[in-house]
Amino acid sequence: MKSTIRIVAAVAAIALLAGCQSSTESTASEDATQLAEAGALPVTVDHAYGSTTIETEPQRIVTIGWNSQDSVLALGKTPVAMESFSGAGLENGILPWDEELLGDVEPTLLDSTSGVPFEQILALEPDVIIAVVSGITEDDYARLSQIAPTIPFKETAWATTWQEQLSTIGSVLGQPKRAAELIEETDDSIADLAAGSPNLNGKTLTFLSGNIDGLTNYCADDGRVILMSQLGLKQSTGSAELCGDTQGSVTASREQYNELDADVIVLNDASGQGLPGLMGDKLFADLPAVKDGRLIQQLGLARVMALASPTSLSVKYAFAELVSKMNGF
């Protein structure tokens, strides 16, 4: 299936300071922000449901799912609408690293918890819909493509790496070179953290999320685990065995808690209620890593989301802090 974008009107957009610029103040402009690199458009993007051709530089950009708005913002553009996030520590539905770049700009916030808000998106008159890290179905894609050219994930729902996300969105916005530069800059910053943390190289990791009612164990292809592997950490044997051939994540039953031990355990705990409940269960509390204080509780939705679907913006927010804690073991 192939859709073609034709931008029929220039619209007001936001000129954002991007890259290494330090100011985060944004002002509205009466003219569309033209940032596309010479010769970068048109471009055809292949994805799970076919391909989509972008003819000219998008201005009215809608993002769906996790953190595609990060890459749009990092590339100096502002979505007219983006996903809303709700949870501990977030007051306005916007993740803190996005809020910093948005300044006073207030994009429409979408709520996809009950499904794609088609009517709301239609009313925004977008000229591209980006859902690179999402779970949209082929039917969703077909409906969205009737509104505007739509870019879903390349192969698997929710499994797009941050590098692929940024590269894809860079192509869509006509900025493949700038996207490649941001990827290199981010990889370099992660490499610097790794070089400063040689004691982490070869240590084992179990990355978890949940509470006493259910624990999720993340597998080797999950973005969180991949990010940790860039530090030289490797998935623990027990965690890997629980995953087996499963991609993404698996549920760890109470009887499998003994398989979760590692040199380092990271627990996503957005509400702050997960760890206290788990510590009341002797099977979990007696894990050597837990008893020895080698468990890191990722508190608040922002810290959880920063690594759930890492981006060039979010890793700067939470990753160095996490590495510092691991270095303290």
Domain edges within the chain: 2-178, 196-327
Percent pLDDT > 90 in the chain is 82
The rounded distance, in Å, linking the Cα atoms of 220 and 226 is: 7
- Sign of the Cα torsion 178, 183, 185, 186 reads positive
pLDDT at 159: 87
What does CATH list as the number for 196-327? 3.40.50.1980
The rounded distance, in Å, linking the Cα atoms of 167 and 161 is: 10
User: Is there a shared CATH topology between the 2-178 domain and the 196-327 domain?
Assistant: yes
Q: At what angle do helices 176-195 and 162-172 cross, to 10 degrees?
A: 160
For residue 181, count other CB atoms closer than 10 A to its CB: 13
What does CATH list as the number for 2-178? 3.40.50.1980
Mean pLDDT, the chain, as a whole number? 90
* 222 close to 249: Cβ distance less than 8 angstroms: yes
pLDDT digits (tens, 9 = 90+) for 295-309: 999 999 999 999 987
Contacts of 132 (CB under 8 A, 6+ apart): 65, 68, 71, 151, 152, 153, 154, 160, 164, 165, 168, 169
pLDDT digits (tens, 9 = 90+) for 61-106: 999 998 999 999 999 999 999 999 988 888 899 999 999 999 999 9
pLDDT digits (tens, 9 = 90+) for 221-275: 998 999 999 999 999 999 999 999 998 999 999 999 999 999 999 999 999 999 9
Q: How confident is the model at residue 5 (pLDDT cuts 50, 70, 90)?
A: very low
pLDDT at 8: 33
Q: What is the mean pLDDT of residues 27-36?
A: 61
pLDDT at 95: 95
CA distances from 88 to 83, 95, 273, 306 (A): 16, 11, 11, 14
The rounded distance, in Å, linking the Cα atoms of 68 and 64 is: 7
For residue 293, count other CB atoms closer than 10 A to its CB: 9
Cis before 42 (ω within 30): yes
What is the model's pTM? 0.86
* 271 close to 304: Cβ distance less than 8 angstroms: no
